């Protein structure tokens, strides 16, 4: 037997002995972390490059004694080169969109977002005092003030125009909290002046000016703030409750005060104007307290000025529970996109985009002024004059104001359920039809049915114009929002002034009936629906004329 040392040496292994038979478990593409490797699915890509052990490899049978320098061609490992291989570009992950969830149940939604309404409580009290002065200016006042000069009758509207003209520029240099505090102080002072005097015309005029300036000054910043801090599924309700419902509540309070106090009170000094002043002083004082304790600055304004941490903290405090959760991050992301898109718009382009919305909203707000103008007071005064019972006559006025308040309340409640457009169209078509009915009966000697139709008219007027508050808060681009809200309010006030200085005509209801009907037809095509949309989406819907 031959020794093993005489046996020929074993042939060398073919190929590269260092080549792995399978991909290592910790393999990762160059330039990517281990987390990215698993995230983008490189484990599957590596299986095509380095097959698993379960897959049999093709082995070539060599000759018995190949030369030692022999090596198989590289093609035995496939078409990939052994070095400097390039993997395909990893797929980009889709953008993560955090969706805000609308809580089920009206009670749960109100409890979750109650803080947003508390922030606006100071402005709400200011608007209630403004509504009282609107009702006083159009005619719902004591009999001692039935015949006034034109200047006194329009003093509140002039003051509101002055305040609105200033408010378009203040928010850029003055925080909204300071504006609200200052306006609450003006309401407090006006109430004290009115309550501390008795039949003093100069003091009454000064009080009207102060209250008007406060309302005009705070309206633009408040509506802009309401639209920016409210969640998308409650923005309509919050805006309508803050502005239209508050004004109509003030109108109802003034009608109630002026009609339920008998002439015996006047001799004792407890006239309706003094009660108006006392209530205004109380509202102003409470407004100061609420603005100091409950006010939160707009997260959109904070993001626009680069204060992201403060914006996150503001959003945390605007929802219950007061924690930073997915809802807070969702709103923060949406607000950042809203601010970024509006910053890309130059002022000229923002002005052009705001013009169609300005035209539509000016028409709506002008019709709102017509629906509660001095002509309406004249109509209810004439209809109540057919009764010879004093208390029955007085209750005509109370029902008149209560119907308007009820319409605003109903519309505010369902604003985010049936939508802004449907609410506005329903109110417009009903008001147009009722205006023609009132006009046809107004010339009758007994004025049959006029009082009832006037009450129903006010009910649907409250329904029709409640949505205008939400439209003002969401229609205009961010850069020019405050300016255009103030301009729209100024147009509404000018309509009040024009009607207050015109002579009474019996054809008034024929005219407004035709206007309401024409606007209803145009609104069917031109008025957008912004129910449960973000501010970005609402702004885009208002860009076109139709």
- Residues 455, 467 contacting (CB under 8 angstroms): no
Residue 140: count other Cβ atoms within 10 Å of its Cβ.
24
**What count of residues does the chain have?**
546
Give mean pLDDT, residues 53-71.
Answer: 46
Residues 311/303, Cβ–Cβ less than 8 Å? yes
If 0-12 CB within 10 Å is exposed, 13-18 middle and 19+ buried, where does residue 421 land?
middle
**How would residue 387 be classed by pLDDT, with cut points 50, 70 and 90?**
low
| pLDDT band of 50, cuts 50, 70, 90 | very low
**The tokens of 452 are what?**
């009832």
At 176-200, the pLDDT tens digits run: 999 999 999 999 999 999 999 888 8
Which residues, 6+ apart, have CB-to-CB distance to 511 below 8 Å?
A: none
CA distance 380 to 361: 28
What pLDDT, on the 0 to 100 scale, is given for residue 40? 40
pLDDT computed for residue 392 by the predictor: 61
| Per-residue exposure over 148-166, b if at least 16 CB sit within 10 Å of its own CB, e if not | beeeebbbbbbbbbbbbbe
The pLDDT tens digits for 485-539 are 999 999 999 999 999 988 877 788 999 999 999 999 999 999 999 998 999 999 9
- pLDDT band at residue 128 under the 50/70/90 scheme: very high
Confidence of residue 325 (pLDDT cuts 50, 70, 90): confident
Residue position matching structure tokens 């006042």: 141
Looking at the chain, the whole-number percentage of residues with pLDDT higher than 90 is 58
Give the span between the Cα atoms of 460 and 66, in whole angstroms. 103
3 state DSSP class of 544: coil
Identify the band that residue 101 occupies on the pLDDT scale cut at 50, 70 and 90.
low
Note whether 473 and 227 are within 8 A (CB). Answer: yes
pLDDT at 231 over 60: yes
Confidence tier at 391 by pLDDT (50, 70, 90): low
**Mean pLDDT over residues 413-422, rounded?**
90
**What pLDDT was estimated at residue 103?**
65
Asked if pLDDT for residue 36 goes beyond 60, the answer is no
Q: Which domains does the chain have, with CATH numbers?
A: 112-541 (1.20.1250.20)
Name the region of 325 (left: φ>0; alpha: ψ -120 to 50; beta: rest): beta
The mean predicted confidence, pLDDT, of the chain is 82
In whole angstroms, give the CA distance from residue 64 to residue 137: 117
What pLDDT is attached to residue 93?
42
Answer yes or no: is pLDDT of 43 > 70: no
Name residue, tokens 């607000």.
Answer: 335
Question: Bigger pLDDT: 519 or 27?
Answer: 519
Q: What is the Cα Rg of the chain in Å?
A: 36
In whole angstroms, give the CA distance from residue 433 to residue 417: 25
Extract the tokens encoding 161.
Answer: 């125009």
Give the mean model confidence (pLDDT) for residues 406-430: 93
Question: Is pLDDT above 70 for 367?
Answer: yes
**Which of 10-19, 351-360, 420-429 is predicted least confidently?**
10-19
pLDDT at 266 over 80: no
* Residue 282 CB-density burial (10 A; 0-12 exposed, 13-18 middle, 19+ buried): middle
pLDDT in tens, 283-308: 999 999 999 999 999 999 999 999 99
Q: Residue 444's pLDDT is what?
A: 67
| CA angle, residues 501, 503, 509, in degrees to nearest 5 | 110
């Amino acid at each position: 037997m031959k020794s093993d040392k005489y046996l020929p040496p074993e042939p060398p292994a073919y190929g590269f002995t260092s080549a792995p038979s399978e991909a290592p478990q910790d393999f990762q593409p160059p330039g990517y972390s281990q987390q990215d490797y698993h995230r983008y699915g490189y484990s599957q890509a590596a299986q095509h490059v380095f097959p698993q052990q379960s897959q049999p490899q093709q082995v070539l049978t060599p000759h018995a004694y190949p030369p030692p320098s022999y090596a198989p061609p590289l093609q035995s490992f496939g078409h990939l080169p052994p070095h400097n291989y390039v993997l395909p570009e990893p797929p980009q992950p889709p953008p993560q969109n955090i969706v805000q969830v609308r809580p089920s149940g009206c009670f749960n939604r109100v409890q979750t977002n109650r803080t947003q309404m508390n922030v606006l409580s100071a402005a709400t009290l200011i608007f209630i005092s403004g509504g009282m002065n609107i009702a006083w200016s159009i005619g719902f006042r004591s009999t001692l003030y039935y015949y006034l000069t034109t200047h006194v009758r329009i003093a509140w509207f002039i003051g509101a125009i002055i305040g609105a003209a200033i408010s378009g520029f203040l928010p850029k240099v003055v925080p909204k909290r300071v504006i609200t505090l200052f306006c609450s102080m003006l309401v407090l002072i006006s109430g004290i002046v009115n309550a501390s005097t008795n039949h003093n015309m100069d003091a009454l005029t000064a009080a009207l000016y102060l209250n008007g300036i406060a309302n005009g000054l705070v309206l633009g910043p408040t509506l802009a703030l309401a639209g920016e801090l409210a969640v998308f599924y409650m923005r309509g309700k919050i805006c309508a409750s803050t502005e239209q419902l508050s004004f109509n509540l003030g109108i109802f309070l003034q009608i109630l005060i002026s009609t339920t106090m008998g002439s015996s009170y006047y001799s004792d000094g407890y006239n309706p104007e003094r009660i108006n002043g006392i209530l205004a002083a109380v509202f102003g004082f409470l407004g100061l307290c609420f603005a100091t304790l409950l006010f939160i600055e707009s997260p959109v304004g904070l993001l626009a000025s680069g204060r992201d941490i403060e914006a996150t903290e503001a959003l945390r405090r605007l929802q219950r529970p007061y924690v930073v959760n997915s809802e807070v991050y969702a709103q923060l992301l949406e607000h950042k996109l809203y601010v970024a898109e509006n910053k890309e718009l130059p002022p000229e382009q923002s002005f052009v985009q705001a013009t169609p919305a300005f035209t539509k909203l000016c028409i709506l707000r002008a019709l709102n002024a017509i629906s509660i103008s001095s002509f309406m007071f004249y109509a209810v005064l004439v209809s109540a004059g057919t009764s010879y019972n004093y208390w029955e006559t007085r209750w005509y006025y109370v029902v008149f104001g209560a119907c308007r308040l009820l319409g605003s309340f109903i519309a505010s409640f369902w604003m985010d359920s049936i939508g802004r457009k449907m609410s506005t169209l329903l109110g417009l078509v009903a008001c147009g039809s009722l205006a023609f009915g009132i006009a046809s009966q107004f010339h009758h000697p007994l004025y049959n049915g006029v009082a009832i139709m006037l009450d129903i008219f006010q009910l649907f007027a409250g329904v029709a114009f409640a949505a205008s508050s939400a439209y003002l808060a969401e229609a205009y681009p961010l850069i020019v929002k405050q300016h255009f809200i103030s301009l729209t309010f100024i147009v509404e006030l000018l309509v009040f002034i024009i009607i207050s200085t015109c002579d009474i005509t019996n054809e008034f209801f024929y005219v407004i009936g035709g206007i309401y009907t024409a606007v209803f037809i145009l609104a069917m095509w031109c008025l957008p629906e912004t129910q449960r949309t973000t501010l970005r989406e609402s702004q885009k819907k208002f860009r076109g004329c139709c």
